[in-house]
């Protein structure tokens, strides 16, 4: 539908891969392995044994594959390592969609003092508050909300029903998926005494959150993720960082550059992540800690302390992976330990009994 056509040789050159076979073949789309036909490129995961076995029967015009896999004779291919990079680039070449030229829909609502760059699309139902600034070539989709004083860079896509509260700063080439909420109030309260009798000794007084959120360039944020505004300063997401769906990032956090945060992970307030950190799915971090560069927090881990650079943490409470794996291995040996302890108890009892006095049953003579 939105695909173009290109010769296999040209495609190989464009994506930086090595051509195998007939370079004159026309390729017009990337399609799934099972469905690819003569003008389609498909992707072969060399770690997927089923796919590799099925390769001789593939009807695809060509495959993207890693450099070392042996290929059936006559198969056209582009070799590239890692092959996923070839996939990413081929999709970008063949399936890039042109942006429509909509301009500003009369069914959108722009506040006073809004500044728009060139070729900005503002869809029906979008709301831009007073003083909002939007860079060139940015799309604001239906129902997206940008609060007063928020700025967005160029080449961004703000998907439907995204809410960006006021006074947040979004960089260039940032994509925010549907339903994400940027800049809601951080979760900050302080107990304040009440006069309402012994059953209600205090209430939780709100600490107003007047800081902002800064999202640097090339960040992508998943659907229904929430990133809270800081109390006084800013919650910061470093450039190139990618955040999946339903992630929670608390107020005052600083997330480094090129960090990956997988779905449903949660980072409590005032915690700082370094560069190239990985936070896997459903992991959770307490507040006020620091995670060093390139550290990996595995799925469902619960991190309660600072993590040094390059460490891999597992479990809840999280342990270094070596320690944690040992603990888990020993856990599985508990039935064996139980048996050995029972065996020892029996044998020691036998020794004590036969010695007629040695050990446990020994009485003063």
What is the token pair recorded at 199?
Answer: 């059953």
Q: Does 355 bind a copy of itself (CB under 8 A)?
A: yes
Kindly state the smallest distance separating residue 257's Cβ from a copy of itself, in Å.
Answer: 6
- Helices 8-15 and 83-94, axial angle in degrees (round to 10): 120
Q: If DSSP states are collapsed to H, E and C, what string results for 202-233?
A: EEEEECCCCCEEEECCCCEECCCCEECCCCCC
Q: Using the structure block, give the residue that is written with the tokens 């604001």.
A: 140
Instruction: Give the footprint of a copy of itself on residues 288-327 (CB under 8 A).
Output: 299-300, 302, 316-317, 326-327
The string of DSSP codes covering 72-115 is -TT--EEE-SSHHHHHHHHHHHHSPPPPP---B-TTSEE-TT-E
Q: Does 220 bind a copy of itself (CB under 8 A)?
A: yes
Gyration radius from the chain CA atoms: 29
Q: Does 284 bind a copy of itself (CB under 8 A)?
A: yes
**Of residues 16 and 24, the one with the C-beta less far from a copy of itself:** 16
The window from 20-28, 57-65, 114-122, 242-250 that contacts a copy of itself (CB under 8 A) reads 242-250
Choose, from 46, 177, 251, 258, the residue flagged as catalytic.
Answer: 251
Residue of 4, 99, 210, 308 interacting with a copy of itself (CB under 8 A): 210
Distance CA 170, CA 193 (A): 39
Residue of 154, 226, 235, 254 interacting with a copy of itself (CB under 8 A): 226
Q: Using the structure block, give the residue that is written with the tokens 């301009």.
A: 103
The number of angstroms, rounded, from the C-alpha of 116 to the middle of its chain's C-alpha atoms is: 30
Kindly state the smallest distance separating residue 149's Cβ from a copy of itself, in Å.
Answer: 8
Q: Does 67 bind a copy of itself (CB under 8 A)?
A: no
Residue of 187, 214, 309, 321 interacting with a copy of itself (CB under 8 A): 187
**Of residues 54 and 358, the one with the C-beta less far from a copy of itself:** 358
The window from 17-25, 60-68, 70-78, 280-288 that contacts a copy of itself (CB under 8 A) reads 280-288
Count of residues in contact with a copy of itself, rule CB under 8 A: 120
Which residues have CB under 8 Å from 48's CB, separation 6+? Answer: none
Instruction: Give the footprint of a copy of itself on residues 26-55 (CB under 8 A).
Output: 30-32, 34-35, 42-43
The window from 6-14, 62-70, 132-140, 178-186 that contacts a copy of itself (CB under 8 A) reads 178-186
Residue 251 is among the residues annotated as catalytic for this protein? yes
The window from 50-58, 70-78, 112-120, 334-342 that contacts a copy of itself (CB under 8 A) reads 334-342
Exposed e or buried b per residue across 211-221, where buried means at least 16 C-beta atoms within 10 angstroms of its C-beta = bbbbbbbbbbb
Instruction: Give the footprint of a copy of itself on residues 102-161 (CB under 8 A).
Output: 107, 109, 123-125, 127, 141-143, 145, 149, 159-161
Residue of 112, 334, 363, 365 interacting with a copy of itself (CB under 8 A): 334
What is the token pair recorded at 65?
Answer: 């594959």
Burial tier of 230 (Cβ tally within 10 Å: 0-12, 13-18, 19+) = buried
Kindly state the smallest distance separating residue 73's Cβ from a copy of itself, in Å.
Answer: 26
What is the token pair recorded at 177?
Answer: 């998926």
Instruction: Give the footprint of a copy of itself on residues 190-209 (CB under 8 A).
Output: 190-192, 199-200, 202-208
Do 314 and 298 form a contact (C-beta atoms < 8 A)? yes
Residues that are catalytic: 251
């Amino acid at each position: 539908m939105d695909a173009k056509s290109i010769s296999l040789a040209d495609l190989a050159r464009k994506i930086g891969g090595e051509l195998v076979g007939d370079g004159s073949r026309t390729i017009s789309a990337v399609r799934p392995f099972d469905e690819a036909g003569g003008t389609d490129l498909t992707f072969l995961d060399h770690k997927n044994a089923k796919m590799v076995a099925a390769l001789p029967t593939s009807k695809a015009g060509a495959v993207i594959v890693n450099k070392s896999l042996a290929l059936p004779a006559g198969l056209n291919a582009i070799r590239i390592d890692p092959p996923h990079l070839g996939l990413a680039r081929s999709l970008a070449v063949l399936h890039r969609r042109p942006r429509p030229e909509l301009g500003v829909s009369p069914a959108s609502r722009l506040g006073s003092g809004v500044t728009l760059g060139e070729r900005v699309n503002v869809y029906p139902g979008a709301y831009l508050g007073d003083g909002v600034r939007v860079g060139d070539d940015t799309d604001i989709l239906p129902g997206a909300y940008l609060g007063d004083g928020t700025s967005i860079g160029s080449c961004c896509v703000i998907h439907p029903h995204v809410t960006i509260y006021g006074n947040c700063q979004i960089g260039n080439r940032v994509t925010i998926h549907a339903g994400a909420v940027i800049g809601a109030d951080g979760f900050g309260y302080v107990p304040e005494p009440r006069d309402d009798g012994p059953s209600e000794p205090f209430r939780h007084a709100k600490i107003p959150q007047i800081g902002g959120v800064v999202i640097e360039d090339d960040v992508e944020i998943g659907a229904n993720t929430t990133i809270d505004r800081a109390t006084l300063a800013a919650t910061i997401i470093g450039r190139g960082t990618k955040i999946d769906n339903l992630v929670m990032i608390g107020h005052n956090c600083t997330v480094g550059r090129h960090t990956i945060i997988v779905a449903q992970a949660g980072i409590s307030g005032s915690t700082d992540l370094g560069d190239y950190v990985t936070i896997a799915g459903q992991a959770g971090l307490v507040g006020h800690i620091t995670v060093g560069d390139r550290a990996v927090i595995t799925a469902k881990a619960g991190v309660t302390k600072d993590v040094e650079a390059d460490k891999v943490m597992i479990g809840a409470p999280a342990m270094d992976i070596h320690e944690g794996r040992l603990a888990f291995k020993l856990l599985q040996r508990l039935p064996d330990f139980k048996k050995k302890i029972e065996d020892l108890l029996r044998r020691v009892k036998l020794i004590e009994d036969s010695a007629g006095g040695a050990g446990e049953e020994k009485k003063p003579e």
